[in-house]
Chain A
Amino acid sequence: MKKYLFVAALMLGATGENISDLTAAEPGKQLWTQMHMQKKLGKQVSCASCHTADLKQAGEHLRTGKRIEPMALSVNPERLTDPAKVEKWFRRNCKWTWGRECTAQEKQQIMAMMKAS
């Protein structure tokens, strides 16, 4: 059953339809901790490298050490309120962390996870 739901979610996601946040949150979590080689840094990194795996916790910029406010909407309702800001950070951070832009579906899954956290 779970498998079918996932496939349905993928299909809906691919056509740009809005899928339920509950279904998208799970793949979002996997994307969050998936490791990628960051060539300039010479290290494997994931979203969690800076933001931590627990979205309710504050993170820290890898290089500057600056505090990054929590990503979970339950503790930081400011998140996702400014669409331009959301797009800006997805563009930068996907390119830096994954070496490419995130797809619309991946972004939706990550946002779903933030809402569910």
Chain B
Amino acid sequence: MTLKTKQKRVLGMVLFAGCVGLSLSTLAWSDGDAWYEHDREEHEHAEGGFYGNTSDVPMITNAAYKTECSACHFAYPAGLLPERSWLSVMNNLENHFGENAELDPETQATITRYLQGHAADRIPNRFSRSILRSIRPDQAPLRITETSYFEHKHREVPDRMVRGNDKVRSFSNCLSCHSMADKGVFDEDSVRIPGFGRWED
């Protein structure tokens, strides 16, 4: 190999690396929809990457999930439960916490795929990791409120503010108090409890 072709090759590699770097950075800044919808292999490399550093849970990016689930309740971000939990929820829609939430097979498959790919053990971020750590590997909780992490985080919230509060009624109604829950934001600063206001620890 002559010196000139070697130089050319190095230059080409530098240019290629630059292009890849640039395209990746635009992906990180964009809304994230396209970034998400790749194969699962890619998510497995995401640990410690862009999402590893965010404290918010990724917002819901799937239209079917959003429409179907929020018809009756707050659409919980997929990153709040592991894949095994979502699978058990989706395989039992006929008895969905005492309700019938049957879907046509196609919609059911679409939503299941989405939840699988975006579950706590698929898209890591601080919240998802904390929730995962609080669940034993042989457990597949069906409710986010049953996880030790959730219980720990809400242990100081008195019953009268939630179950005894007509505007809240249940810990399952995230958005009643977490004013930005629909954006995937669950930090304390955004908490406004109806009838009580801000939450001061």
Footprint of B on A, CB under 8 Å?
A: 40-41, 61, 63-66, 84, 88, 91-93, 95-96
Contact = CB atoms under 8 A, between A and B. Distances in A.
B169 A65 contact: yes
B101 interface: yes
B102 A91 contact: yes
Contacts of A63: 97-99
Interface residues of B, number: 16
For the residues of B in contact with A, the DSSP-based class is loop
Interface in B86-123: 94-95, 97-104
A66 B100 contact: no
Contacts of A41: 98
Interface string B142-177: 000000000000000000000000000110110000
Contact of B99 (A65, A84, A91, A96): A96
Nearest to A38: B98
A79 B88 CA distance: 32
A64 B72 contact: yes
Contacts of A64: 72-73, 170, 172-173
A66 B98 contact: no
